[in-house]
Amino acid sequence: MARLLVGPFNRVEGDLEVSLDIRAGTVKRAQVNATMYRGFEQILQGKLPHDALVYVPRICGICSVSQSVASAKALADLAGITVPDNGLHVTNLMQATENLADHLTHFYLFFMPDFTRPVYASRTWHAEAVRRFAPHTGEQMREAIASRQRWFTLLGTLGGKWPHTQSIDPGGSSRAVEQAERIRLLSKLREFRRFLERHLFATPLEEMAALSSLDALWAWHDAALNVGDFRLFLSCARDLELHQLGAGPGLYLSFGAYSQPGGAHALASGVWRASEQTLVEPDTLAITEDAAHAWLEDAPMPLHPLQGMTLPNADKPGAYTWNKAPRLAGEVVETGAIARQLASGHPLVRDAVAKHGGCVLTRVIARVLELAIVVPMMERWLKALEPGDPYFTACELPDEGVGMGLGEAARGALGHWLVVKNGRIANYQIVAPTSWNFSPRDAGGTPGALEKALEGAPVLPGEKSPVSVQHIVRSFDPCMVCTVH
């Protein structure tokens, strides 16, 4: 058995190392190590509850709005506040802007460049992949950065700046949108739609979103081979059999994205069990975090986040990461766009997962599809804004109590839990999407989702950073700074 230590991984957010045991050209066992600790949960102890809104976005520069929203929701839960409809819509618009930018960034900057590697030089699609996605020179990659820059100007108006927007408050939004601004924002949404419809899909968004089966997707692909960047991905995926790579645990968690007036979500919450094709509501009381293999002080048993603790212990025997192991009723779950689309019942994603499970192919499909689904939603939210109606409800935060804020970052289920005593934060625990996906083994020795997904990955002779491992790792779009916070 050979052992390979792979790192640093780039084109992921933050620092990641993977340790692989390899036999007969195949990964037998993988260990995922998040190699950095910053200590936000310690920093937040004793702070004024509202000050959390300055700290928590700074956990993460790629999904700072998602962190803000989860925190604002936890504070609103603590205080029992209801956000006015305008505030809800603006918050959703900001979070959707960030989530879709993350999907775009992931596809063009983080994921596709691996297909330009010399190892694929003999493939029919390689030259085209290089032309489009080569780091520093790829034409489509550069178009995507330009489009992303324009796209983020939405957040300049809606939230002042990105990242680390501070306009999101438990009472709503500190930025009211004026009538004329609404028109300008709509034209920016259309500009982004045009980019997606011209470059990524080469197809109208509504037509993309309406694809209802894997067969329909492949028929769409075959009808205009490699026209549009998503079709080129599908060509690579079919050739490299990416549907056989990176099988997830088969249990998918979504907390529900984009709260709507009245309490529903635009993208549903739910736990999808692939083997039984069943959907149930997530039981948040069944969430625990296990620190058995983390460089963190252990509790005698895994704790719910309201009781959770995060205290570093760099010398702990048997530990190999700064990430805890979150579990749902003791089970390993996968989270992300794939979970949101399964919970929302999207027929293409349900069909693709039924045929191939959670894998490199289906994760990318779900994420890209979400770009087609959410942009039209944003157009509706923008039109639903009522200038003149309030964006914010004034509120006092109580000196005692608990709060829970759940939401969906681009990478999946994000939860904040806080306890307030004597007007100060007595405990604050964060469970991030990549904490679920990249969790270490728990006390029972059960590997996390990525650790399991890497088992069976092929390793080519001489490879020091196996390309299959890179595809699998990046198919989750990991965010390590969120994971360890």
Partner 1 sequence: MSKRSSDMFNVLWLQSGGCGGCSMSLLCADTTDFHGQLRDAGINLLWHPSLSLESGDELQDLLARVLDGRVRVDALCIEGALLRGPNGTGRFHVMAGTGVPMIDWVRRLAGVARHVVAVGSCAAWGGITAGASNPTDACGLQYEDDRPGGLLGAEFRSRSGLPVINIAGCPTHPGWVIESLMALAADSLAEQDLDSLARPRFYADHLVHHGCTRNEFYEFKASAEKPSDRGCMMEHMGCKGTQVHADCNTRLWNGEGSCTRGGYACIACTEPGFQEPGHAFDRTPKVAGIPIGLPTDMPKAWFVALASLSKSATPKRVKINATADHLVMTPAVRKTRLR
Is residue 175 within 8 Å of residue 167, measured between CB atoms? yes
Binding mask 138-177 for partner 1 (x = CB under 8 A): ----x--xx-xx--xxxxxx-xxxxxxxxx-x-xxxxxx-
Residue of 2, 3, 25, 36 interacting with partner 1 (CB under 8 A): 36
Nearer to partner 1, 232 or 267 (CB): 232
**H helix runs in 196-297, sequence order:** 205-209, 214-223, 229-240
Handedness of CA 179, 180, 186, 189 (dihedral sign): negative
Nearer to partner 1, 36 or 264 (CB): 36
Residue 70 exposed, middle or buried by CB count within 10 Å (0-12, 13-18, 19+): buried
- The minimum distance between CB 21 and partner 1, in angstroms, equals 16
Is residue 35 close enough to count as binding partner 1 by CB under 8 A?
A: yes
Is residue 6 close enough to count as binding partner 1 by CB under 8 A?
A: yes
Is residue 440 within 8 Å of residue 451, measured between CB atoms? yes
Which stretch in 5-13, 243-251, 324-332, 352-360 sits in contact with partner 1 by CB under 8 A? 5-13
Residue of 29, 55, 213, 384 interacting with partner 1 (CB under 8 A): 55
Nearer to partner 1, 270 or 433 (CB): 433
Is residue 183 close enough to count as binding partner 1 by CB under 8 A?
A: no
- The minimum distance between CB 115 and partner 1, in angstroms, equals 11
- The minimum distance between CB 420 and partner 1, in angstroms, equals 14
Residue of 22, 27, 30, 44 interacting with partner 1 (CB under 8 A): 44
Cis peptide before 8 (omega within 30 of 0): yes
Residue of 2, 3, 25, 48 interacting with partner 1 (CB under 8 A): 48
Q: What are phi and psi of 415, to 5 degrees?
A: -130, 140
Residue of 61, 401, 456, 458 interacting with partner 1 (CB under 8 A): 61
Pairing of strands 424-431, 412-421: antiparallel
The pair of three-digit structure tokens given for residue 97, joined into one six-digit string: 């802007």
Among the listed residues 366, 355, 379, 448, the one whose alpha carbon sits nearest the alpha carbon of residue 408: 366
Taking the C-alpha atoms of residue 434 and residue 326, their distance in angstroms, rounded to an integer, is: 10
- The minimum distance between CB 184 and partner 1, in angstroms, equals 9
Q: Per CB under 8 A, which of residues 416..475 are in contact with partner 1? A: 464-465, 470
Nearer to partner 1, 47 or 131 (CB): 47
Is residue 7 close enough to count as binding partner 1 by CB under 8 A?
A: yes
Residue of 17, 191, 239, 455 interacting with partner 1 (CB under 8 A): 17
The pair of three-digit structure tokens given for residue 194, joined into one six-digit string: 């045009």
Helix or strand (DSSP H, E) at 427: strand 424-431
Nearer to partner 1, 362 or 439 (CB): 439
Taking the C-alpha atoms of residue 167 and residue 68, their distance in angstroms, rounded to an integer, is: 9
Nearer to partner 1, 84 or 357 (CB): 84
Binding mask 256-295 for partner 1 (x = CB under 8 A): ----------------------------------------
With contacts defined by CB under 8 A, how many residues of the chain interact with partner 1?
87
C-alpha distances (whole Å) from 387 to each of 153, 156, 181 are 20, 18, 10
Q: Per CB under 8 A, which of residues 363..392 are in contact with partner 1? A: 387-388, 390-392
Nearer to partner 1, 102 or 351 (CB): 102
**Residue 21: partners with Cβ closer than 8 Å, 6 or more residues away:** 1, 2, 3, 27, 28, 29, 30
Q: Per CB under 8 A, which of residues 306..345 are in contact with partner 1? A: 312, 314
Q: Per CB under 8 A, which of residues 100..139 are in contact with partner 1? A: 105, 109-110, 113-114, 116-117, 134-137
C-alpha distances (whole Å) from 100 to each of 139, 205, 421 are 20, 14, 37
- Cα within 13 Å of Cα(417), Cβ side: 17
In the sheet with 334-335, reading across from the earlier edge strand, the strands are 278-280, 265-273, 251-259, 334-335
Which stretch in 41-49, 339-347, 401-409, 429-437 sits in contact with partner 1 by CB under 8 A? 41-49
Q: What are phi and psi of 409, to 5 degrees?
A: -80, 170
Nearer to partner 1, 242 or 482 (CB): 482
Taking the C-alpha atoms of residue 286 and residue 204, their distance in angstroms, rounded to an integer, is: 41
